[in-house]
Amino acid sequence: MRTVVVGGGVSGAHAALTLLERGHDVELWDVGRDEAGFAEPGTGFHEWKTRLADPVAQLLGTDLGALIPPATAELLRYPPSRQFLTSPKDPLWRFQSDGFFPHTSFAKGGLANGWGANALSFDTDDIKEWPVSISEMDAAYKIVYQRIRVAGPIDDDLTPHLAGVYPSEPPVRLSDADERLLQSYERRKLKLAKSGIRVGRARMAVMTDASRHNACDYCERCLWGCPKAAIYNPRFTTLAECEANRGFRYVSGRLVLSLISSSRRIIGIRYLDTSTQEIREEPCDVVFLAAGALQTGAIFLRTLKGARVEVALHTEGLMDTAVVKIPFVSLASVGRPLDVRSFQFNRLILGVITDSAPWPRYLHGELLHLTSLLYYPLIERMPFDSRLSKKLFFALRSALGVVTLFFPDRITTGNRQVLVDDRNGWNAVQLCYRETGEKEDYIRQSVSRVRSALRQLNCLPRGVARSPSGAGIHYAGTVPMGDGPKRCDPAGRSNLFPNLYIADGAAFPSLPSKSITMSLAAHATRVARHAEL
Amino acid sequence: MKNGVLFPLWQIDAQEYDAICAYLRLTPKARLYDHLSGYLASTPFRFPRPGGFSGFLAKPRLTGWRIARLDLATKLFIPNHPIRHILNCAIAVHECDGQGYLEMAASPQAWNAAGSILGWMAGFVVNLAITMPWLGWQLLSYASRMAFSSSDSLAGKRALISGVSHGLGRDLMLHCLEHGAEVIGIVRNPESRDALKAELPASAPMTLVVADLSQPDALVAALVNAQIPAASLTIAILCAAVKHDGRSVLSLANLRDTFQVNFFSIAEFAGWLCGSGTRKTGDPSHHRVERTGDQDPSVEAASSPSSLARDDGRGLSTTTALVLVSSMGRWHGMHFSSGYNASKAALSIWGESLEMELRQHGGRRFTVTVVEPGLFASGMTRPTALTRLLFASRRQVASRIVSGALAGRKTIRPPFAFALLTWAACLMGRDFRYRLLARAKPGGVRR
């Protein structure tokens, strides 16, 4: 039996590893571009800049293509030296968008090459719309948390709301500003609890146990690529485990375009050989689509077209997390010295617990005191002239922070992928996405609640920055679980093609606020465990 | 420094960069200036062009005083002004640099921080108190000048310019690009094309057509082969010229070459432009087409042959301004420049005749503008004491030519003081002109 997993990101890696553990031979097909390694391990971010031949080219690109212009909502861009993201200029790019700016990856390891490392699990409330029980998910989470080590507290105020998270490493070290904020929270937590605000230490998929060779050394370069691979990346761990198995075959240079079907069964795969640019076909028996919700949706739509199924050629849904950033000044940290070395991503998280039906009760926020970033977009956003803004920013830097809120999403009429023009033998896909008024109200109320909480924590919130649609990078729901030909069953099996499994976020029928990566791995694991092979 | 200033509305030269660094208390570095200048060269094609008052504020050179005023004024009122891009980029590139970051990050600690912040805020109030009246004065100046100026935006217009590889043609090209036009530039050979392509940002909406104007019909054939419809042009500026200095007036080979480039190629082009536009293709060995803008899909689409042929979304230009770049030299003879002055005299007179004939055409309307520049810094003039005295900025001349031609002016003679001098010399008689011009020295062949 020829079993093919499509996609080499978190979902594909965990689906493949689970199938291998079941004793099946697996081929994993991937475009599989490699990202160069990250030099100078141990060197802190600011020292690293002095060692680079051309730091501007490294951090902003030779043509400064990653420079964030003034008067834009963006505060952060992945540096061009990180090669895992696919640009719309890429010849393999086949998305058209109307106000939705997607991030996709053709790198080995996928978008997980650049994730923020926050590791959370969905709980009963998060998946209340899913046709899956929490016990099924929890069984998968337990497997995943054995494969991915997570740093975090065993018990804190957030633990009751973060069921299914199993930390196995010490929490990430806090900065002095984090400590002061946490102390402030401890003093006011009873009052804050009444408004549903909880603050705690982040649950991060990062090695922190100093006895490990690849433990985090706090070099503040998470965003630019962890030189020690301390942050979980399927490329270095899960896929490496797969590759150690004799039944595994990693096939790179293949962009799967569609699946070939006959009598409602998948019998082959149509793919672009990226080295020769030729479109080829190969037979297969079972396919696990794990190319990421956007690519999986696109492959599924092209498959429907090829199968001449009488359905409209658009997906059932398209979801993403809306991202809102609330910058603040922590008064207790004004004028304090900065930590010499710190973890670049967030060390604290903030939960907003409310009854805001139909949304999940838990709204996830990442609470970050700035340690090492390129600050010019923040300086430009300050309401003073550049010279004063620059001086003020650096005088206040140890006190500056940002809360990033990740808003849940639901399948909404009109938000979907639509198959459009056929070019070079494979169709492009239009991404249609609009926020609903209901969600905007929820966002407004939640932002107001968090701003109020920040004030109670002796922090001054200043403005609200909304990332463009698509910047959440938590894409889901393109082939969701449910009834209908364009959906899959609770086991991830396509309702139309019984030997096709949807093993990534495309199968999620709703998108909770919590970070998605561990749930992608758990879903892929669950689907692969129960697949009928 | 690798990059020169191509687009003064957006880019800054090395002295202005020094002023920016002094303002931000940063140490200037040539490497960082190269990054900054290269980035700013692409900004005219990525961000909205500053128009109206914003554009007025962007034109003068940056000094310490002006930077301080513009910084605050634009932060408060004009968030897309070029100075915002300049300051944002300057801070970004210095932040990437180890030394630059340390200079920026040096800040007071503990209670000193509170004191410093109070002091800075007081300084901000003072800055505001100076900047607001300054801004009001600038607004008054702008309003008073606005009454005598027309809109200089070329957005959505297509301009054809010959001789874009150097001199006035190059400045005309840069002016048109900076003001939003799509430019079809004519260059003489592939080497000039490649050099120009390397110099311009990839996103510039520029189509380069190679045509050797010394060959009969080469220009028209190149345009036909590039599928450029005559009717899509809003303005066509024939700027390319050749000058065989120091050759005998009796050198017929030079005379023929001069007249072919300076006169007949223009007459051929005018025939194509004003006629049916369906001339024969001609010898393909004399023309090649190369387009820039390959990094921006929209620009590529705008300048692809098929889109030019379809005139994609632009519609046909209802009026086409034909600009014939002659010379003040057309008013008098000059023994060492062989046929140059004669060819320019022919061009001026022929242009006037063309305008008369075109007036009788129905349907599409053409305007003919004859430009007779005096001395300005171009490949045609040598920097002497006299030329420095009568120097006309090529940038200003380019701006005057484009705005004048689009406004339908029949003749443009910049600088006008030089035209008055020339006419005075003409009135003084031939002996006087001989004594005046006999000492002029030839400079060889210039194209």
Q: What is the pLDDT of residues A289-307, one digit of tens each?
A: 999 999 999 999 999 999 9
Chain B, window 1-60: residues with a beta carbon less than 8 angstroms from a chain A beta carbon? 23-25, 31-32, 35, 38-39, 42, 46-47
Peptide bond into B415 cis (omega under 30): yes
Chain B, window 98-137: residues with a beta carbon less than 8 angstroms from a chain A beta carbon? 98-99, 101, 104-114, 116-117, 120, 123-124, 127
Q: How far apart are CA B4 and CA B18, in angstroms?
A: 15
Q: Which of B95, B99, B121, B296 to mutate against chain A (most A CBs within 10 Å)?
A: B95
Q: At A417, is the pLDDT very low, low, confident or very high (cuts 50, 70, 90)?
A: very high
For residue A93, which residues of chain B lie inside 8 Å, CB to CB? Answer: none
Ranking A229-238, A366-375, A428-437, B282-291 by mean pLDDT, the lowest is B282-291
For residue B30, which residues of chain A lie inside 8 Å, CB to CB? Answer: none
Q: At B45, is the pLDDT very low, low, confident or very high (cuts 50, 70, 90)?
A: very high
Of B111 and B81, more confident: B81
Per-residue CA distances from B159 to A214, B6, B204, B233, B366 (Å): 60, 18, 13, 6, 14
pLDDT at position B149 over 90: no
Report the length, in residues, of chain B. 447
Chain A, window 298-357: residues with a beta carbon less than 8 angstroms from a chain B beta carbon? 334-337
Q: At B442, is the pLDDT very low, low, confident or very high (cuts 50, 70, 90)?
A: low
pLDDT at position B433 over 90: no
* Percent of chain B whose predicted confidence (pLDDT) is above 70: 81
pLDDT at position B283 over 60: no
Alpha-carbon radius of gyration of chain B: 25
Return the pLDDT at A81: 79
For residue B105, which residues of chain A lie inside 8 Å, CB to CB? Answer: 394, 397
- Find the closest chain A residue to B111 by CA distance: A335
**From the CB of residue B276, how many other CB atoms can be counted at a distance below 10 Å?**
8
Return the pLDDT at B339: 86
Return the pLDDT at A29: 97
Return the pLDDT at B34: 95
Per-residue pLDDT reduced to its tens digit, B6-43: 999 999 999 999 999 999 999 999 999 999 999 999 99
pLDDT at position B303 over 90: no
Return the pLDDT at B109: 77
Q: How far apart are CA A323 and CA A465, in angstroms?
A: 9
Which of A376, A394, A395 lies closest to B88 in CB terms?
A376
User: Structural domain boundaries of chain A?
Assistant: 1-40+95-148+232-317+475-533, 169-230+322-407+434-468
Taking the CA of residue B80 and the nearest CA in chain A, the distance in Å comes to 7
Which residues have a Cβ under 8 Å from the Cβ of B254 and sit 6 or more positions away? Answer: B244, B247, B338, B339
pLDDT at position A513 over 60: yes
Is the distance from CB of A485 to CB of A500 less than 8 angstroms? no
Q: How far apart are CA A493 and CA A270, in angstroms?
A: 20
Q: How far apart are CA A196 and CA A211, in angstroms?
A: 38
Residue B363 touches chain A, beta carbons under 8 Å: no
pLDDT at position B212 over 50: yes
| AA letter at A320 | D
pLDDT at position B236 over 70: yes
Three-state secondary structure call for residue A427:
strand
Q: How far apart are CA A364 and CA A367, in angstroms?
A: 10
Is the distance from CB of A19 to CB of A3 less than 8 angstroms? yes
* Residue bearing tokens 């090695």: A207
pLDDT at position B295 over 50: no
Q: Tell me the HSE value of B80 on the side-chain side, using a 13 A CA sphere.
A: 12
For the segment A127-131, the average pLDDT, to the nearest whole number, is: 95
Per-residue CA distances from A14 to A114, A315, B219 (Å): 18, 25, 63
Is the distance from CB of A66 to CB of A80 less than 8 angstroms? yes
CATH topology (fold) of A169-230+322-407+434-468: Cholesterol Oxidase; domain 2 (3.30.410)
Report the length, in residues, of chain A. 533
Which residues have a Cβ under 8 Å from the Cβ of A149 and sit 6 or more positions away? Answer: A168, A169, A205, A207, A232
Q: Which of B70, B86, B96 to mutate against chain A (most A CBs within 10 Å)?
A: B96
Return the pLDDT at A321: 95
The contacts found for A528-531 with CB under 8 angstroms, 24 or more apart, are A528/A14, A528/A15, A528/A16, A528/A18, A528/A19, A528/A22, A528/A288, A528/A501, A528/A503, A529/A18, A529/A22, A529/A140, A530/A491, A531/A19, A531/A286, A531/A288, A531/A491, A531/A492, A531/A493, A531/A501
Which of B23, B88, B105 lies closest to A69 in CB terms?
B88
Three-state secondary structure call for residue B196:
helix
Token output for B10: 């957006």
Mean pLDDT for all residues in chain B: 84
For the segment B293-311, the average pLDDT, to the nearest whole number, is: 36
In eight-state DSSP terms, residue B329 is G
Interface predicted TM-score (ipTM) of this complex, two decimals = 0.82
CATH architecture of the domain A1-40+95-148+232-317+475-533 equals 3-Layer(bba) Sandwich (3.50)
Instruction: Give exposure, A65-95, as e/b (b: 16+ Cβ within 10 Å).
Output: ebbbbbeeeebbbbbbbbbbbbeeeeeeebb
> Closest Cα to residue A215, out of A175, A173, A244?
A173
Is the distance from CB of B179 to CB of B154 less than 8 angstroms? yes
pLDDT at position A153 over 50: yes
Return the pLDDT at B299: 31
pLDDT at position B335 over 80: no
Taking the CA of residue A388 and the nearest CA in chain B, the distance in Å comes to 7
Token output for A29: 């097909």
Q: How far apart are CA A117 and CA A202, in angstroms?
A: 9
Chain B, window 278-297: residues with a beta carbon less than 8 angstroms from a chain A beta carbon? 295, 297
How would DSSP label each residue in A440-476?
Answer: HHHHHHHHHHHHHHHHHTTEEE---EEPPTTTT---B
Is the distance from CB of A291 to CB of A8 less than 8 angstroms? no
pLDDT at position A496 over 90: yes
Q: At B296, is the pLDDT very low, low, confident or very high (cuts 50, 70, 90)?
A: very low
> Closest Cα to residue A390, out of B349, B87, B274?
B87
Return the pLDDT at A476: 97
Q: At A336, is the pLDDT very low, low, confident or very high (cuts 50, 70, 90)?
A: confident
Per-residue pLDDT reduced to its tens digit, A241-289: 999 999 999 999 999 999 999 989 999 999 999 999 999 999 999 999 9
- Find the closest chain A residue to B113 by CA distance: A335
Q: At B300, is the pLDDT very low, low, confident or very high (cuts 50, 70, 90)?
A: very low
Q: How far apart are CA A157 and CA A303, in angstroms?
A: 47
Please name the helix (run of DSSP H) or strand (run of DSSP E) that holds residue A49, with its range, or none: helix A45-51
Return the pLDDT at B364: 59
Return the pLDDT at B371: 95
**From the CB of residue A221, how many other CB atoms can be counted at a distance below 10 Å?**
21
Q: Which of B69, B80, B88 to mutate against chain A (most A CBs within 10 Å)?
A: B88
Is the distance from CB of A14 to CB of A296 less than 8 angstroms? no
For residue A391, which residues of chain B lie inside 8 Å, CB to CB? Answer: 107, 116, 120
For the segment B216-224, the average pLDDT, to the nearest whole number, is: 94
Mean pLDDT for all residues in chain A: 93
> Closest Cα to residue B10, out of B68, B75, B54?
B54
Token output for B69: 């005023």
For the segment A168-197, the average pLDDT, to the nearest whole number, is: 95
Of A217-221, A521-525, B150-154, B400-404, highest mean pLDDT: A521-525
For the segment B93-119, the average pLDDT, to the nearest whole number, is: 89
Q: At B356, is the pLDDT very low, low, confident or very high (cuts 50, 70, 90)?
A: confident
Return the pLDDT at B297: 34
Chain A, window 65-124: residues with a beta carbon less than 8 angstroms from a chain B beta carbon? 67, 69-71, 88-89
Enumerate domains of chain B plus CATH numbers: 14-146 (no CATH), 158-446 (3.40.50.720)
Is the distance from CB of B94 to CB of A394 less than 8 angstroms? no
Residue A63 touches chain B, beta carbons under 8 Å: yes
> Closest Cα to residue A275, out of A295, A251, A293, A291?
A251
> Closest Cα to residue A171, out of A409, A3, A345, A406?
A345
Ranking A414-428, B65-79, B198-212, B319-333 by mean pLDDT, the lowest is A414-428
Is the distance from CB of A381 to CB of A325 less than 8 angstroms? no
* Percent of chain A whose predicted confidence (pLDDT) is above 90: 77
pLDDT at position A479 over 80: yes
Q: Is B51 left (phi over 0), alpha (psi -120 to 50) or beta?
A: beta
Please name the helix (run of DSSP H) or strand (run of DSSP E) that holds residue B255, with its range, or none: helix B252-259
Return the pLDDT at A523: 98
Query: Do residue A55 and residue B89 have CB atoms under 8 angstroms apart?
Result: no
Return the pLDDT at B436: 82
How would DSSP label each residue in A110-153?
Answer: GGGGG---B-----TTTTTTSSS-HHHHHHHHHHHHHHS--B--
Query: Do residue B97 and residue A49 have CB atoms under 8 angstroms apart?
Result: yes
Please name the helix (run of DSSP H) or strand (run of DSSP E) that holds residue B412, with its range, or none: strand B411-412
Chain A, window 9-48: residues with a beta carbon less than 8 angstroms from a chain B beta carbon? 46-47
The contacts found for A379-383 with CB under 8 angstroms, 24 or more apart, are A379/B91, A380/A70, A380/B84, A380/B87, A380/B88, A380/B91, A381/A75, A381/A327, A381/A463, A381/A465, A383/B75
Q: How far apart are CA A219 and CA A375, in angstroms?
A: 17
For residue A388, which residues of chain B lie inside 8 Å, CB to CB? Answer: 120, 123-124, 127
Residue A376 touches chain B, beta carbons under 8 Å: yes
Taking the CA of residue A385 and the nearest CA in chain B, the distance in Å comes to 5
Q: Tell me the HSE value of A517 on the side-chain side, using a 13 A CA sphere.
A: 27
Query: Do residue B88 and residue A384 have CB atoms under 8 angstroms apart?
Result: no
Dihedral of alpha carbons B313, B319, B324, B328, sign:
negative
Of A201-210, A220-229, B379-388, B419-428, highest mean pLDDT: A201-210
Peptide bond into A358 cis (omega under 30): yes
